[in-house]
Amino acid sequence: MSIQIVGHKTVAALPVDAQPELDADGFPTDRSITRAYTPTRYPRAMDGLPGGHDEDPLEPGFLGSHWYRLGDAVGSTFRMSSSRLTEYRDELMDFSTDLSESAPFYDLIHFDSSDGLIGPEACKRLAADFKKYPFVVDQAQVHGEIRSMIHEIAENGGCLVFDA
């Protein structure tokens, strides 16, 4: 399975009663609008987003009770196999034996969903981890590219979107 990861400079919740125009498949015709599609087992991923910790009434089992508007894409669009994404997370785990929420890169390591959104607060924590461990970029080019993208996202209140 191939997973696409896109960084967005900003993310904003639309009003809770917003009803975007939907296409025949039930997706917004304005492609900058989305649901979060973040599984309920990753509440930290939705930190900092209005309605982020609420179960999605339109998508049971997922978080985010709002429609969200995504800002401009930043950095590279990553397409990687699920096995390469698992390897990437394993490489990040090399920086700590700690498995708690305070572990470096926790928000990327434990978000093992092929769909969903990692919101602004989680991206800020990831940016801090990349600053604390600058040598992570020596492991592979993808680390450096994701680090650059995460820093821009964190500065602007954006998000990472995973899409299978």
Question: Could you list the pLDDT tens digit for every one of the 164 residues in the chain?
Answer: 788 999 999 999 999 999 999 999 999 999 999 999 999 999 999 999 999 999 999 999 999 999 999 999 998 888 888 888 888 888 888 877 778 898 999 999 999 888 999 999 999 999 999 999 888 777 666 777 888 899 999 999 999 999 98
Q: How far is CA 27 from CA 67, 71, 72, 135, in A?
A: 11, 17, 19, 40
Q: Please report the pLDDT score of residue 88 as a whole number.
A: 82
> Is residue 72 a contact partner of residue 65, using CB atoms and an 8 Å limit?
no
Which among 77, 47, 53, 84 has a CA at the least distance from the CA of 66? Answer: 53
Radius of gyration in angstroms for the set of CA atoms belonging to the chain, rounded to a whole number: 15
For residue 62, list its beta bridge partners: 39
Residue 13 phi, psi (nearest 5) = -80, 135
> Is residue 19 a contact partner of residue 91, using CB atoms and an 8 Å limit?
no
For residue 79, list its beta bridge partners: 4
Q: Please report the pLDDT score of residue 140 as a whole number.
A: 66
Per-residue three-class SS string for the chain: CEEEEEEECCEEECCCCCCCCECCCCCECCCCEECCCEECCCHHHHCCCCCCCCECCCCCCEECCCCEEECCEEEEEEEEEHHHHHHHHHHHHCCCCCCCCCCCCHHHHCCCCCCEEECHHHHHHHHHHHHHCHHHHHCCHHHHHHHHHHHHHHHHCCEEEEEC
